[in-house]
A and B are shown apart, each in its own frame.
Chain A
Amino acid sequence: MILEVTGLRVEFPSRHGNLVALDGVSFSIAPGEVLGVVGESGAGKSVTGLAVIGLLDPPGRIAGGEIRLEGRRIDDLGPEALRRLRGRRIGMVFQDPLTSLNPLYTIGRQLEETILAHLYVSRPESRKRAISLLGETGIPAPEERLHHFPHQFSGGMRQRVVIALALAAEPSLVIADEPTTALDVSIQAQIIALLRRIARTRGTAVMLITHDMGVIAETADRVAVMYAGRLVEIGAVREVLHSPRHPYTAGLMGSIPKIGASRKHKLVQIDGAMPRLGAIPAGCAFHPRCTSRLPRCSAERPELLDAGSTLAACWLHVPDAGRV
């Protein structure tokens, strides 16, 4: 496994008490695998990514659990060791390519600087690598584009540059947080294909954080569904999307409009909204909105359990769960 996260807990101490942003989150990503992390706003998907790369905004902190990268523990590293890890072992791609690039430097300079900072190579070699990275991420005429500034690129091309930057030091893990959200659909499809290709050809583990189930369906091998700071379901993408075992996943899938569905059909509606961090219900966090809740759901929190095709944190999949 490239990345192994076990029982991760992230807290944000505040005036209103300790806000638990992540609670008992466990997952792993194998080489060449794309794990989709999906959830609605406030589910904790971005916090999960930030915790892994050690970029939680203070006062946020990891309060429990373990993060291992290639077998080595990284959640207890100091800031300097983490800084060296980022870029070298873990590459990052964020939503807005414009804020990830320095507007004052050519992209060639930014790429070469990153390569030189992390790898022991000569200058001419770093240039050669920069050109081949741009080529690999699908930028036409990379030799010329090297001398261009970020503003001279379109949104989709910029995101390709950011992906090239993330790959510069040949990291084993790439964390992509909403990499296609700022892009048009036609460009989105191209970036999705690129991410997939990178995982396949380079054997890079990819953690793809997104709110968009469509992007997950196209890119991910496995998918982890988050709700109120917890993992509610994890499994192979086909299983989770086709036959979700957790009522939240099922509701989420039903609420997505699909082309070709009859208009007479109303969309499945999950009433209510995701709880605020300060007011997460006891037991299963989803129970107040769940239509198939049992008495046990409000009392006891379910762990991820074998639910047939996937793992789901839901009492419905325990044979005699009805009894408390």
Chain B
Amino acid sequence: MTLLELDGVTRDFDVSRRWLNRLLEGEPRRLLRAVDGVSFSLERGETLALVGESGSGKSTLARLIAGLYRPTQGRIAFHGKRVQMIFQDPYASLNPRWRVREIVAEPIRVLFRRSTAETCSKVGELLLQVGLSPEDGEKYPHQFSGGQRQRISIARALAGEPDLLICDEPTSALDVSVQAQILNLMSELQRRLSLTYLFISHNLAVVSQVADRVGVLYLGRLVELASASELFTRPRHPYTRMLMDAVPDIEISGRARTPVAGEVPNPLAPPSGCAFHPRCPYAYDRCVAERPPSLDRVACHAIEEGRIS
């Protein structure tokens, strides 16, 4: 069952200078297109991961879906009731002056009519579910480590009984051993509560651990969307291949890799045609001139023409 559908979603940000400066210096309006014509759908109970480097628009996309931004163009249809979000920085996302039980109870208080006793027992239950104890509810966020704070964030998100959980880099600020604890917790919760995750990350290895399907973003565009098993065994878009080659070879297997070249261009002046063409080993004149449509879930002229498989 489809929970979320995006159709040609685009979001511009106005980064022009002030009106008077523009007038005096004859500068045009400047728009930054953070998300550019992204379409995909999300099924109930699955984990869709969006990967990309900084400036790829993954966080903007998360905020669009959460309703924190409105799309400039395109349509977002959500067939559920509630969305909750888990943020990257567990130090910034919890109110330091609230006790943990107040933090976790807030969505219950706002969204549901519950008696104090009911809320209280629900909070205890949620804290247990994320591996904390109900007594921890009396403490303040600063008394917890980063990993425990992320557990509190998860408990708060679950308190709203969301149909969709958007996780924006939920483990990027954590140490690897703590990251493993949180990733294991998230998969366990998904199994038990049949949650739907939209998981945003720059780390392909983390994504391969959690995702059913993966979308790869480059400069605001979705360049490839495939099931995780397919994407990781047979990446198709040249950018996806480059990303895979950039992942450190932790097993020291000595697998053959092409060195990564170039950097992400300035999103204020994205390249013409396919945004990846200046860094692409397979690019030719059509890639410079014409933006590739997304065919068979890959947006690439070279693949469309069968020049690469």
Contacts and interface: CB of A to CB of B under 8 A. Distances in A.
Interface in A187-227: 187-190, 192-193, 211-215, 217-218
A66 B259 CA distance: 40
Given A269-B180, A273-B178, A185 B247 contact: yes
Given A218-B248, A266-B187, A185 B202 contact: yes
Given A154-B263, A186-B53, A241-B250, A259 B177 contact: no
Contact of B177 (A190, A261, A270): A270
Interface stretch (A6-14, A83-91, A106-114, A250-258): A250-258
B252 A251 contact: no
Interface residues of A, number: 44
Q: Report which residue of A215, A218, A261, A269 has the largest number of chain B beta carbons within 10 angstroms of its beta carbon.
A: A269
Interface residues of B, number: 43
Interface SS, B side: helix
A130 B175 CA distance: 38
Contacts of A252: 176-177
A242 B250 CA distance: 9
Contacts of A258: 205, 208, 250-251
Interface in A239-287: 241-242, 251-252, 254-261, 263, 266-271, 273-274
Contact of A217 (B54, B146, B178, B250): B250
Contacts of B233: 260
Interface string B160-201: 000000000000000111111101100100000000000000
B250 A186 contact: no
B263 A186 contact: yes
Contact of A260 (B208, B243, B259): B208
Contacts of A261: 208-209
B130 to A, nearest CB: 14
Given A190-B260, A217-B249, A255 B244 contact: no
Nearest to B175: A40
Contacts of A188: 246
A215 B180 contact: no
Interface in A166-196: 184-190, 192-193
A181 B187 CA distance: 26
B204 interface: yes
B87 to A, nearest CB: 19
Interface string B189-230: 000000000000011111011100000000000000000100
5 contacts: A190-B259, A213-B176, A214-B247, A241-B250, A241-B251
Interface of B: 53-54, 145-147, 175-181, 183-184, 187, 202-206, 208-210, 228, 232-233, 242-252, 259-264
The 5 closest A-B pairs by CB, nearest first: A214-B248, A255-B180, A40-B175, A257-B209, A184-B53
